[in-house]
Amino acid sequence: MTYCVAIKLDAGLVLLSDTRTNAGLDNISRYGKMHCWENPGERAIALLTAGNLSITQGVITRLEKQIEMSAVEPETETILNADSIFRVAQMVGEAMRHVHDRHREGMEAQGTSFNSTILVGGQRKGGSLRLYLVYSAGNFIEATADTPFFQIGEHKYGKPILDRVITSSTELEKAKLAACVSMDSTLRSNLSVGMPLDLAILETDRLAFSERRRIEQDDGDFAALSEAWSKALNSAFHDLPHLL
């Protein structure tokens, strides 16, 4: 299992993902779930993945192969020359269907789940900042002012804080804090989600990531945030009025 969250604001995108992959309690691996591409000044794109790792890796590999092919065949359409982020989401959906169709028979015969989801966020020059959630079937939905964030993977533990504080007008730094608190809540409640974490910030119209970093287990800032949030929750709980 994994947990990824993407928040679309007027000011930009906040993206956060864990790196844990479980194949049982005694078989835990680390794989990056965040994949970023940028051509500064022209476009910046990020994909966050959850679900069957072989499917999502197959999708990323197919997209990367298209980019490599375009170096020798310039007419090849890729996520780096597509005419819109909407088209990028379509291409991710097409790649998802291709990988599913290629492996469906064998995976179904073994009873293996090929459920997977991908968040697609970014902006190209002359276009708007966009965020999409692509499903296993290749169809997708877009984030709006009414639904400014998407979560994939083990999302239920981290959703309450986002529901309470995130709107499209939220400042980037506040949204980054909310995403980290959302992740911290998930880390505490589900062992299948684990550090390190990958964080990326894309400011509206900047067309390049203003921040990309990996948050390791011993990161002092994240530990301080986690402790402060725990203390704040405890204090708020003890300050609640008596109901009986």
Q: What is the rounded CA–CA span in Å between residue 14 and residue 222?
A: 16
Find the mean pLDDT for residues 51-66.
Answer: 93
Q: What is the DSSP string of 82-118?
A: -S-HHHHHHHHHHHHHHHHHHHHHHHHHTT----EEE
- The amino acid at 26: D
Q: Which option is the CATH number for 3-238: 3.40.190.10, 3.30.1360.40, 3.60.20.10, 3.10.25.10?
A: 3.60.20.10
Model confidence at 108, pLDDT cuts 50, 70, 90, reads low
Find the mean pLDDT for residues 103-129.
Answer: 82
Give me the percent of the chain exceeding a pLDDT of 70. 91
pLDDT in tens, 134-190: 999 999 999 999 999 999 998 899 999 999 999 999 999 999 999 999 999 999 988
Give me the pLDDT at residue 104, please. 66
Domain extent listing, the chain: 3-238
pLDDT at 30 over 90: no
Give me the pLDDT at residue 107, please. 63
Give me the pLDDT at residue 192, please. 74
CB 15 within 8 A of CB 121: yes
Q: What is the rounded CA–CA span in Å between residue 240 and residue 41?
A: 50
pLDDT at 84 over 70: yes
What does each C-alpha distance from 69 to 40, 44, 190 come to in angstroms? 21, 20, 41
Find the mean pLDDT for residues 75-99.
Answer: 97
Model confidence at 23, pLDDT cuts 50, 70, 90, reads very low
- 177 HSE (CA, 13 A, CB side): 10
Q: How far is CA 8 from the centre of its chain?
A: 11
Give me the percent of the chain exceeding a pLDDT of 90. 80
Average pLDDT, the chain: 92
Among 45-59, 102-116, 162-176, where is mean pLDDT lowest? 102-116
Q: What is the rounded CA–CA span in Å between residue 220 and residue 141?
A: 36
- The amino acid at 169: S
Give me the pLDDT at residue 215, please. 97
Beta-bridge partner residues of 119: 48, 133
Q: What is the rounded CA–CA span in Å between residue 195 and residue 217?
A: 6
CB atoms within 10 A of CB 31: 13
CB 20 within 8 A of CB 28: yes
Q: What is the dihedral of CA 40, 37, 4, 105, to 10 degrees?
A: 160
Find the mean pLDDT for residues 64-72.
Answer: 96
pLDDT in tens, 216-233: 999 999 999 999 999 999
Give me the pLDDT at residue 94, please. 97
